[in-house]
Structure formats: C-alpha cells, structure tokens
Structure 1
Amino acid sequence: MFTLDEYGLRNIILFLIWAEFFWETYLSYRQQYRKAVSTEIVPEELRTVMSKEEFEKARQYSLAKLRFGFVKDTQAILLTTFVIYLGLLAVAWNYATSINPLAGGEVIISCIWLFLLSLTSTLLDLPLTIYYTFVLEETFGFNKQTAGFFIWDKIKEFIVSQIIMMIVCSIIIVIIKNGGPYFFVWLWATVCVISFILLTIYPSVIAPLFDKYTPLPEGELRTQIEQLASKLKFPLTELYIVEGSKRSMHSNAYFYGLFNSKRIVLFDTLLAKDDGTGCKNDEILAVLSHELGHWSYSHVTKNLIAMQLNLLLVFAVFSVMFKYPLLYQALGFYTIQPVLVGLVVVLTYVLMPYNTLLSFLMTCLSRRFEFQADDFAVQLKKAEPLERALLQLNKDNKGFPVNDKLFSAWHHSHPPLLERITILRESARKMN
C-alpha cells in the first residue's frame, strides 16, 4: 500500500511546477516557431496601416520578448526547485527567528520571513528587470526611464508593497490563529474588505506616488468625453491624463472608482502626436466607448464577484488542509507549522492545477467580455473609429498580429487583433 511521506509530497509539488513550465514552454515554442519566425508577410487587413518595415520590427519585438520570457521562466523554475529541494524556506524561517527583536511572536517572525523572501526575490530578479527595461525595451524604442528614475521607482515600489503586505499578512495570521473552526469565513470577509479599501485608495493615494496625474485640459476632447459620459449616464467625476511617457511609450486608457464616483484616465501616449503615433479624438472616444461597455455590462462587478467566490473556496480548502504536517515537512518545517507557510503551500502548490484551470477559464471569460464591450461600441456607431484605434495602438505598441491559436487561447485575455477586427466588421455590417 502506497504511503505518502514528505519526500513524495515534495516530488509531487516539483512535478506540478515542472509540468506547468514545460506546458508554457511548449506554447511559447508554438508561437515563436510556428508564427513569429515563419510569418514574414504583412496580413492583408493591416497592409494599409502597417508597412513591411513596421511589421518586421513588431515580429522581432515579439521574438525578443518570447526569448526573454523563456530565460526568465527558466531562471524561476530552477530557483524554485533549488529552494524547495534544499528546504531554504525553512532556513529563512530559522534565520528570521534568530534575528527577531521580540521574544516569540509568530506574526513578527512571519513578517521578517516574508521581508527576507521579498528582498531576495527582488534582488535576484533585478538583472533581468534591468535587461528588459534598458536593453530589450530600449532597443525597440519603448523605454523612457533614466537610471535614476528606475532606481527610485523600484525603491518606492518595494517599500509600498512591503507596507501593504506586512499589514495584510499580520491580519491574516491573527484571524487564522484566533478565528475558531470557521476562521475561513472571517478571513474571507476581512480580505474582501481589504480588497475594496485598496481598490478605493490605490488610484488616488498609491498610483500618484509613481506617476503624475493631471486633469485633462478644457477643449474639444474633454467636451466630447463628457458628452459621451452624460449620454450613457456614466457618473464621471474626474478626467485625468497620466504622464506614462516618462516610463514607457506603451498606451492605455481605463476608468476606476466605486458606485457613483468614476474617473477616466488617459495615458499621454494615447493622444495623437506630430510623429503619427497616438489616436485621434474620434478614435479615443471609440476606445472609451469600449471601456464604458465594460461598465454598462457590469464586467468589473462580475469579475469581482467571481474572484471573491473563488477566494472563499480557496480559504475553505486551506482550512481543511493547513494542519496537515506533511505540507510543512515537504518544505523542511519539521518542528513548527507557521500558518503563513501553510497558506503559501496550499495556495501556491497544492492548488496549482486548480489555479491553472481557473486562470484559463477567466481568460476565456475576459475575451467574452472584450467582445461584448466591442459590440457596445458598435451600437454607439463607433465601429470604424474603434477599428482604426485598434490598428493604430497595435502599430504604436509593435504588437505582432499573427498568433498561434493555442498560445493565444491560453494567454490572451483580449482577443487577437485580426479576429477582433473581423468580428467588428461583421457586427457593423449587421447594424447597417
């Protein structure tokens, strides 16, 4: 009769991690060699807006990112295997215990342990992050950060993330240890509240620490956006431009806010420039019509509900499994069972197959939502400018428009450009 011990469980965890790595590598191989390497002709739908030279740059950019992704994933899988096989999480815990300035206290030790892991991970990732920003992105004309800006940005990012993480983890540990047999319900309710608080304060308190937000100046574009919001009864309270060009030349637009207080944010890179990049006013309005489609169909609310229900299920599973000694022994914890370690093991490793499946299903749901938002823009007679905007944004961001179906289905939360244009045109034809 087969009996599972800590070594067997450790091997199962490593098997799951490596299986995911090989799957992701296979998908990247399909995209790289079946599409990016072999496709050298501009698709017919893009020939009026994308030259052969621009298409080639997009192809090379895609290949560079795929190669970089493989190197980064390989580093991550080797490091994870090394950490798990040698029980380094337990070594870090023992060190955190030895430098704990207070006698006892699992909360304090957990925070020190988490800080050590975060600092080590950040330092190990730093060379690849620097390469991606200052070599890969720089080569293709996207990076606009100076070395000083990059360093200060990373320091702020680390400090803010540590403050939030320490507070949240401390609350989680206290609830788990003192919440009784149904602690997972209290834990879920508390995390829900924390999530809503962070959603509320992040755009107005945290995000301005990293980027400059200024009101969109009075003018034709502002007037047109306000008229669109008024027509749709969208509760627009603020309209901002974010200075994204100090960081990157990639473009974006989004809205945020709860209940009857919504704010729209446009990246300055989205606005039309003299060099031909960016979108014209009617194209920006079409993009915002798409975004407002998400609001009209309550996509954000539906995603939040799905996430919270999933969180409740995950915490319920954790409540059943976290006292199982082998979970800790598999990672080198033979004499203690810290609840934060148990949470990491269950959420990251034990539930890995479930998380992978859920991620794929959420990607499928996201693509459905994107098509619905596109259709909303079509209903507002924005099909033609939305198509132009999508083509322009793809050109500006050097997006490679040819995708392997399996790679795209697994990774792309937004539909591929050519598929999106085809459906846009079909929807517009039915409207006429």
Structure 2
Amino acid sequence: MGMEGVLDLYGCSFNVYNAIFVFIWGLFLWETYLNLRQLKVAKKVTKSPYEIRCSMNDADFDKSRRYAIDKLNFDIVSGFYNILSLSVILHFQLIAWAWYKSKEHMLFICSHTPWSFGVTEGSEIPFSLLFTIYVALFQFFESLPWSYYRLFVVEERYGFNKQTLGFFIKDRLKALVVGLVIGLPIISVLIWIIKAGGRHFYIYAYGFTFIVSIIIMFVYPEFIAPIFDRYERFPDCELRTKIEELAASIEFPLKKLFVVEGSKRSSHSNAYFYGFGKNKRIVLFDTLIRGFKMSGTESDSSDSADKTSDEAQNRGCGDDEEILAVLAHELGHWKLKHVTFNLVIAQFKIFFMFFAFGQLVSVDQLFVDFGFPPSAAPMLIRLIVVFQFISMPYSSILEFY
C-alpha cells in the first residue's frame, strides 16, 4: 500500500491544512501560556533572592526583572502577529500564488530580454530561484519593524543596543544578500539532485546537504563572519596566558585566539569557540573585557574616542577569573561532547526529514491543500511543505534535546 493509501485508510479524509492549522495554533497557545507564567513570576518577584544577593543588588535585579518583562511582552505580541501572518498565508494559499507569480515574472523577463537562458514553461529551477528571492524579500520587510522595535526600543531602553540606524539597515541588507548568494546555488543543486536521483534520491540529497553544512562550518568564520563584524588577534597579555593555560588544562586544541567587536552591536557579552579536530579557535567579545578597546579606535575623533573609552570602562568583567568562568562554561560543552552530540542529533533529524520527504513527495493530496493542482506542485514547494509544515511535530519534539 502506498503512502497515499495509508493516509486514506478506512475512508478517513486526510486534510493537511486543518492538521497543520491546529498544530501551529496549539503550539502558539502552549508557548504563550509558558510566557505568561514566566511573566507572572517576573512581576511577582520584586526583590533579589537571598541566594544571589551577595552578587546582585536590588537595583540591578530590578533592571534585569523589568528587562525580562519587556522581552516577554515583546515575544507574546510578535508571536501573535507571526501566527496570524502564517494563518493568512495558509488560508489564502499565498504560497501557490507567490509561485505562479514568480513563474509569470520569470517568463516575462526572459521573453523581453535577449538572454532567455533557455527558460521555458518547464524550467523549474529558474522559477524556484525567483520564488526564493521573493520569499526572502517578503521576510526581510515583514521582520524589519519587529527587529527595529526589539533593538531600538526594548534593548535601547536598558542601554544594551549600540547599533545606529544606518548600521542596522546595512547589516540587514548584507545578511539578505549573503543569504541569497549562498542559498540560491544550494537550492539549484538540491532540486537537480532530487529530480535526477531516482528512487533513492533522498540519500544523495542528504549527502549533499551534509557536505555543504561541513563546508559552511569551515568557511563561515573565516570569510563570512568578517563581512558583518571586525575580528582581530587577541593581544599578548596576562589574560591571554591564563586562557591558554585553561585550554591546555583540559587538552583543548587551541590554535588561535580572537576578539570580535561586539560593542558596535550591543553591550551584551559572550565567548565561543569553533573549528574541527586539532584546529580550534576561541573568540571573545570585546564587551566581555572591561577597558578593552579594538585597535584603531584611538584614531577616531577625540569625542568619539572618549565616549568609546568611557563605555569600555563601564562594561564587561573587571576580573580575569570572571572572564575565565564564562569561557570555562563554553569549553565545558566541548569537554562533555555536547557539540558532537548536538551535531549527531541534527544530522539524524535532517536525514529522517529527507527520508520522510522521499516517502511523501509523490502524495499529491498533501500539496493540493496548499493551492496546487494534482501533480503540479514544484519540487521546491514540496520540500517546503514537508520540511516546514509536515515535520513540525517532529522538529518541536527534537527541540527539547
């Protein structure tokens, strides 16, 4: 019995739209319930608990509490908007509408330019690429006001946001362009593999995505991350020696130590590591180290330099042991093999989703509910439906791990 027969077993009318609609609203209500519970606690507890009173006074605790309340309120409101937006997209079958508009526009462009590139009614990959661009632009503009409010209202209110409006817009545009430059070729090859891979295409598709993910893990820190932020070698000093000693004490193969200019974005601080095998690198945010200034800041105008110096003296950890404690937390993930475990779980999840896609790709009824006639849904849409909607329960469960 085929998968379509299984879905219609015992005469059940399997309506994908209704099932997805119920699940996404159920998930939203559950997450909202949890946020409201946390909001109630944040409003109720107005004094710092005894256990942390020695390290956090009431003023700092109250600021942290109010910040948490504002973030929870933002999450609830933005979450409600997102679920309404998704419901409208599903109910009015806007995915199919966007696909046919992309196809219409691509055919128009190719018929009115001297370079048609052989695009015809059956050229699925060019249509998929234009559809992806349209979706990316829609998501860019839809999320822009929410990102603006989160940064320039919520984060700004508590002194965390350091971005200017110009930096914010430029950063978002760079993310959009870089995402398309990387994503469009990947989508093209993936569609080709699925259509040409035969019965076991899902194995080849998974293998391709695995190789791409490994390449990106190597390429991103070296070539992509510097597009967005400035990195420099951490200077020789007592703190560097202590970090190297900490890494050596757990046999962490530290090869390079960097600092990133996080202060251009936020006063929040962090540390992380990346790399494979014996080639690991550690990155510290400049906001983690009190008084630290990136090279070149001295050449700024005197007013700007003074402001930068004052901000540097009032942020981050003033004690090396505090910085080492933050870093030790990150290195603990490596020592306890959390990174390896999460990588294995992620690969298992991706392979299972490709396997499920291989079983469901020919079930036309799944895609009819999204506005496509039987057998007319393009491969990219079939991928989106299975990976983003059909697999929602599976993905939600794995998020607990």
Structure 1 residue identity aligned to 2:227: L
Give matches, 1:237-276, under 5 Å.
Answer: 237-273=255-291, 274-275=313-314
Q: Which of residues 347, 357, 365 in structure 1 aligns to 2:397?
A: 357
Give matches, 1:215-294, under 5 Å.
Answer: 215-273=233-291, 274-275=313-314, 277-294=316-333
TM-score relative to the length of structure 2? 0.86
User: Residue 311 of structure 1 corresponds to which residue in structure 2?
Assistant: 350
Does 1:30 find its partner at 2:37?
yes
1:32-70: per-residue Cα shift (whole Å, max 9, x none)?
Answer: 11x111111211122122221211111111111111111
Structure 2 residue identity aligned to 1:187: A
Structure 2 residue identity aligned to 1:309: F
Looking at structure 2, the residues matched to 12 and 261 of structure 1 have their Cα atoms a distance apart, in angstroms, of 47
Structure 2 residue identity aligned to 1:65: K
Alpha carbons 1:323, 1:337 under 8 Å: kept: no
Does 1:338 find its partner at 2:378?
yes
Task: Report deviation, 1:167.
Answer: 1.7
Looking at structure 1, the residues matched to 12 and 314 of structure 2 have their Cα atoms a distance apart, in angstroms, of 67
Alpha carbons 1:107, 1:170 under 8 Å: kept: yes
User: Bigger CA drift: 97-106 or 73-82?
Assistant: 97-106
User: Residue 63 of structure 2 corresponds to which residue in structure 1?
Assistant: 57
Does 1:15 find its partner at 2:54?
no
Alpha carbons 1:200, 1:257 under 8 Å: kept: yes
Task: Report deviation, 1:299.
Answer: 2.0
1:359-385: per-residue Cα shift (whole Å, max 9, x none)?
Answer: 11x1xxxxxxxxxxxxxxxxxxxxxxx
Q: Give the secondary-structure state (helix, strand or coil) at the position aligned to 2:284.
A: strand
Looking at structure 2, the residues matched to 354 and 309 of structure 1 have their Cα atoms a distance apart, in angstroms, of 12
Instruction: Provide the aligned C-alpha RMSD in A.
Output: 1.4
User: Residue 206 of structure 1 corresponds to which residue in structure 2?
Assistant: 224
Task: Report deviation, 1:312.
Answer: 1.1
User: Residue 141 of structure 2 corresponds to which residue in structure 1?
Assistant: 123
Unaligned runs of 5+ in 2: 1-9, 111-118, 292-312
Structure 2 residue identity aligned to 1:10: Y
TM-score relative to the length of structure 1? 0.80
Q: Give the secondary-structure state (helix, strand or coil) at the position aligned to 1:181.
A: helix
Choose between structure 1 and 2 for higher RCO, CA contacts under 8 A separated by at least 6 residues.
Answer: 1
Alpha carbons 1:215, 1:239 under 8 Å: kept: yes
User: Residue 4 of structure 1 corresponds to which residue in structure 2?
Assistant: 13
Distance 1:309 1:279, change over 3 A: farther
Alpha carbons 2:287, 2:315 under 8 Å: kept: no
Task: Report deviation, 1:82.
Answer: 0.5
Structure 2 residue identity aligned to 1:74: F
Q: Give the secondary-structure state (helix, strand or coil) at the position aligned to 2:199.
A: coil
Task: Report deviation, 1:230.
Answer: 2.9
User: Residue 87 of structure 2 corresponds to which residue in structure 1?
Assistant: 81
Looking at structure 2, the residues matched to 133 and 286 of structure 1 have their Cα atoms a distance apart, in angstroms, of 28
User: Residue 299 of structure 1 corresponds to which residue in structure 2?
Assistant: 338
Looking at structure 2, the residues matched to 326 and 276 of structure 1 have their Cα atoms a distance apart, in angstroms, of 57
Structure 2 residue identity aligned to 1:98: E
Give the structure with higher Rg (CA): 2
1:71-126: per-residue Cα shift (whole Å, max 9, x none)?
Answer: 11111111111011111101100110011133231111111111111111110111
Structure 1 residue identity aligned to 2:398: L
Q: Give the secondary-structure state (helix, strand or coil) at the position aligned to 1:307.
A: helix
Identity %: 40
Q: Which of residues 18, 26, 46 in structure 2 aligns to 1:40?
A: 46
Looking at structure 2, the residues matched to 279 and 25 of structure 1 have their Cα atoms a distance apart, in angstroms, of 38
Aligned residues: 358
Task: Report deviation, 1:279.
Answer: 4.6
Structure 2 residue identity aligned to 1:68: F
User: Residue 209 of structure 2 corresponds to which residue in structure 1?
Assistant: 191
Looking at structure 2, the residues matched to 159 and 296 of structure 1 have their Cα atoms a distance apart, in angstroms, of 36
Distance 1:14 1:279, change over 3 A: farther
Task: Report deviation, 1:276.
Answer: 6.0
Looking at structure 2, the residues matched to 231 and 40 of structure 1 have their Cα atoms a distance apart, in angstroms, of 41
Looking at structure 2, the residues matched to 218 and 288 of structure 1 have their Cα atoms a distance apart, in angstroms, of 18
Alpha carbons 1:142, 1:248 under 8 Å: kept: yes
Does 1:320 find its partner at 2:359?
yes
Looking at structure 1, the residues matched to 126 and 269 of structure 2 have their Cα atoms a distance apart, in angstroms, of 41
Structure 2 residue identity aligned to 1:232: I
Structure 2 residue identity aligned to 1:310: K
User: Residue 428 of structure 1 corresponds to which residue in structure 2?
Assistant: none
User: Residue 369 of structure 1 corresponds to which residue in structure 2?
Assistant: none
Q: Give the secondary-structure state (helix, strand or coil) at the position aligned to 2:276.
A: coil
Task: Report deviation, 1:345.
Answer: 0.9
Does 1:71 find its partner at 2:102?
no
